[in-house]
Amino acid sequence: MLDYILVGAGLSGIAVAEKLIDSGKNIRVFENHSQSSSTVAGGIYNPVILKRFTLAWEADEQLKTAIPFYRSLEKKLKTSLISEMPVYRKFHSVEEQNNWFAAMDKPSVAAFLSPNLISQINPNIPSDFSFGMVKNTGVINTELLLDAYRKYLKELDVFITEDFQYDMLQLKNDQFNYKGFQSKRIIFCDGFGMARNPFFNKLPLNGNKGEYLIIKSEALKLEVAVKSSIFILPLGKDLYKIGATYNNKDKTPEPTEDAREYLLEKLRTLITCDFEVVGQVAGIRPATADRKPLVGEHSEYKGMFCCNGFGSRGVLIGPTVARKLIDFIENGTPIPSDINIRRYAKKC
Ligand SMILES: Cc1cc2nc3c(=O)[nH]c(=O)nc-3n(C[C@H](O)[C@H](O)[C@H](O)COP(=O)(O)OP(=O)(O)OC[C@H]3O[C@@H](n4cnc5c(N)ncnc54)[C@H](O)[C@@H]3O)c2cc1C
């Protein structure tokens, strides 16, 4: 008898799995490699919304859980995952500069914004209106994290590379039966794969496709992240991620020509040096209408849960939300109403 079946080993699935393994639970994790959001993510953790200079939802609190979580995984997996890296926001007008300083009136935001404007950060990235620096930001190498964590799950013999077939799941005598496995509980961490999940697919999960270009530029020599209309994210060895795009309509997993052209056009106005495109990746963000996660227990099937809806901020949200879900299941601590799927009472 298992304690938990997990479906999905993206940022949500590994945060949930880690919490359960830590408390000695007997789990199995199904992963079918159908979704790539967590693998292709930029991995940026940045509490500030760089359009409006406001704090993202509970981001300062999430940061306090996320960084120790990824640090502990670095030790466990013996892999370097975190690169602390400032984000430089390019200003396009005096008004934007003023908004930056006005935002600093709020102490919660001021903690992350540098009061000094920087006129030049790199000769290949000119700005007529300088840059502002966001502090306490960085990047998690999510591709490496997922590779290493899935390998760790395989070593524990709890990882099953297989499509979880929702219609094969049976509930009998308060336990779930799935292809010979019996489990007290099941948690779906299936990201945009939830669209195929008959138990939760009425929840308002609107996938949002994101794409990055990978470029190589020997001349750029940039070691910080830069945000203008798009991000430039250094990967090392003269490689950079450029993006990302946001597309609510296209739900196909493949990279597109449209996104490539859009990103190239933006990039050419941002940097002045030569580069070549060496790759392009795409994934579907599990985005929600109210931009809050979807967490909680199915109203009809007791013991069945979902942990989803991390949108464009899975790196920061994942560890906090996974902890809240497990605290609810194991200790009865209520899930906050703003993330609880009960807010969509009629949908599951
Ligand atoms: C281009 C792009 C850039 C991004 N940049 C950032 C960033 O810089 N910072 C940040 O915080 N966030 C970023 N995000 C968002 C972040 O990637 C998501 O919030 C996060 O990945 C969601 O994680 P998840 O585990 O819920 O979903 P997913 O990553 O989609 O994971 C779900 C997993 O479940 C598996 N699965 C689904 N159905 C089944 C099934 N039936 N059987 C078995 N397995 C199944 C899938 O294969 C997948 O591995 C970005 C996203 C994109 C697309």
Per-residue pLDDT of the chain (348 residues; tens, 9 = 90+): 999 999 999 999 999 999 999 999 999 999 999 999 999 999 999 999 999 999 999 999 999 999 999 999 999 999 999 999 999 999 999 999 999 999 999 999 999 999 999 999 999 999 999 999 999 999 999 999 999 999 999 999 999 999 999 999 999 888 999 999 999 999 999 999 999 999 999 999 999 999 999 999 999 999 999 999 999 999 999 999 999 999 999 999 999 999 999 999 999 999 999 999 999 999 999 999 999 999 999 999 999 999 999 999 999 999 999 999 999 999 999 999 999 999 997 777
Q: Whose CA is nearest to atom 27 of ligand 1?
A: 191
**DSSP reduced 3-state for 319:** helix
> Cα(63)–Cα(56) distance, rounded to whole angstroms?
11
CA 251 to ligand 1 center in whole angstroms: 13
CA 312 to ligand 1 center in whole angstroms: 9
**Which domains, from first to last, does the chain contain?**
2-41+143-204+290-347 (3.50.50.60), 83-140+207-288 (3.30.9.10)
Q: Which of 7, 33, 36, 38 to mutate to test the pocket of ligand 1 (most atoms within 8 A of CB)?
A: 38
Which amino acids bring their CB within 6 angstroms of ligand 1?
7-13, 30-35, 37-38, 40-44, 163-164, 189-193, 210-212, 244, 283, 285-286, 308, 310-316
CA 149 to ligand 1 center in whole angstroms: 15
CA 120 to ligand 1 center in whole angstroms: 35
CA 174 to ligand 1 center in whole angstroms: 30
Q: Where are the beta strands (DSSP E) in the chain?
A: 2-7, 27-31, 44-45, 48-49, 54-55, 82-84, 87-90, 131-134, 138-140, 159-161, 170-172, 175-178, 181-188, 205-216, 225-227, 231-236, 239-243, 276-288, 294-297, 304-308
> Cα(18)–Cα(74) distance, rounded to whole angstroms?
13
Please tell me the predicted confidence (pLDDT) of residue 348.
78
**243 Cα nearest atom in ligand 1:** 1
Buried b (16+ CB within 10 A) or exposed e, 175-189: ebebeeeebbbbbbb
CA 78 to ligand 1 center in whole angstroms: 23
**30 Cα nearest atom in ligand 1:** 43
